[in-house]
A and B are shown apart, each in its own frame.
Chain A
Amino acid sequence: MKTDIILSGVGGQGILSIAATIAIAALDNELYIKQSEVHGMSQRGGAVQSHLRISNKPIASDLIPLGESDLIISVEPMEGLRYIPYLSSAGWLVTNTKPFINIDNYPDKNELMSTITSFKNHIALDADKISRELQSPRSSNIVMLGAASPFIKIPYESFEEGIKKIFGRKGEEVVRLNIDALKAGREFAEKAIHNDAG
């Protein structure tokens, strides 16, 4: 059993809190983990990525080889496409549709969406909108994690446990909001997969 995940976004969007939640959930299941992050210069509004590998066997490389990632989780629609060469033929692209525009030559939104939907295995959702509707605008990351959770070979409850551990010191209310966000993302993905299958 292994799940190789690329997380992507723009510096400051907080992809590392998604990685941390998955890592805690993986540890709870006594799995091996390697998670490579980007620190330093590129964090300043630039493209950032993290390689997260979980497995029931020891993991060799800290970086995922091209074409072997099972999943791309992107908190920004263009950034997920940047790492497409890493995705395996059966892999899933799970992406937020809310663009982060801090460059002049940002692509046309319709063209961007049609590129995303041209991949058969994709889940595209406006996590910012969903988190706002849940009165928890800061939880869009966790909505994304929820949407990606069906493709990570870890029981759903472990993600809830992970959230409790990470947000616990911020109080029960924050934990509840994030668990709701996780659930909303999960439900969106399950519906999308179901519609696709139907």
Chain B
Amino acid sequence: MASTDKTMALPETPAELERIPLVSNQRSIGWISDQVCAIMEGKLPMWWWAAFIPSLMLLCLLGTMLVYQVTTGVGVWGNRHPVMWGWDIINFVWWIGIGHAGTLISAILFLLRQKWRTAVNRASEAMTIFAVMCAGIYPALHVGRVWYDWWLFPIPNSNGIWPQFRSPLMWDVFAVSTYFTVSVLFWYMGLIPDLAVMRDRCTTKVRQFFYGLFSLGWTGSNRHWRNYEKAYLILAGVSTPLVLSVHSIVSLDFAVSQLPGWHTTIFPPYFVAGAVFSGFGMVLTLLVPLRSMFKLEDVITMRHIDIMCKVTLATGSIVGYAYGMEFFIAWYSGNPSEQFHFLNRAFGPYQWGWIMMMSCNTLVPQLFWFKKFRQNLKYVFIISILVNIGMWFERFVIIVIGLHRDFLPSNWAYFKPTWVDICTFLGTFGLFFTLFLLFLRFLPMIAISEVKGVTPQADPHHPLGGAKPKNNGH
């Protein structure tokens, strides 16, 4: 498709006021749909299969492990007295934390008018949905008798007893299921105009049918866009308190208990910051390789990477502050159990876990203060993986160190995961990457219409958007 801006001259802007454009090389808006849709239209690259087949095998491993757990009993996991929450809850919190970046990018950054979000929001929202699916497996399975999971819903059991809503575990059911549902709605609504793009350019009958069906007959009518934009704004508005509440409520699962190390008021904000931190870690892990494999360097530019590194740095520093504050409060409270717990964190038998957490979460992200690290994709990729590892260890530290030495020394024990724990966790990666790779192949991984909307060619008051020079004065 021919570019529309050949004859337009750029306005003179002083060099120091020039902002790095969100789409590099002055790509035309037609180029954006061509480039993004090429991912779904071209031949599948070898690396896709090289990633998909192992993912599918891990997914089978997950299925096997879950069948084994359900048919044998929850004892195949390493959860033993006194560590009754083991890898299941660690992995639940870890996956759901990863899910937070998607909604943060799509909702909070939308309200803050951060236009760079358009290049990364679709993939992050997909990541959110798949991560929440991985997370949801654990609470459903760790009850031991999955066939009683319906007791979590407001349905009376055979004795007419209802679930009791004074427990944060019930709040969590509502928070996580609402989060999943609203994330799917938000994601789908953003997809409608892009599915219409696919409908209008695909060539096979099957694709025409399915893209046509799911784009709901979208025509791009301005009367429709008006309602659409309002609905998008409202969804962003309600998702913002939602994303903040979900991990707050997850943290209340811990904070409402009486356990030293868990019973603290800092948990909700600290969990939310940690969730955003790990979520951005995962977004970087996924997008840094994808942008070069799919030749999307002009859409996900170095400026995007730079901003995301800065968000990682900021949230990582908040998490580091919370770690320090926990120690300070333990000392300041004068509570011997609290003080013992924190000394046990740093110097007890799980000191290695604590060191992993502290180094990956508080020290490593500090490298992002330097532009050299933010602009080097190898460093960004490695640091983002270390962030993911560090955040896994944070949950390990909170849960296992919090439980393994309780008030009675005769109860103390050293927790070890079983092979089923490890294989189930590996299996969730299979579920996540299988779904994510299918998403890359069948749905536009960049929000096409939103990226078009932030280019200068889309602005009717910009010369590239066709404005006459005399109208250019603001």
Does A associate with B in a complex?
no
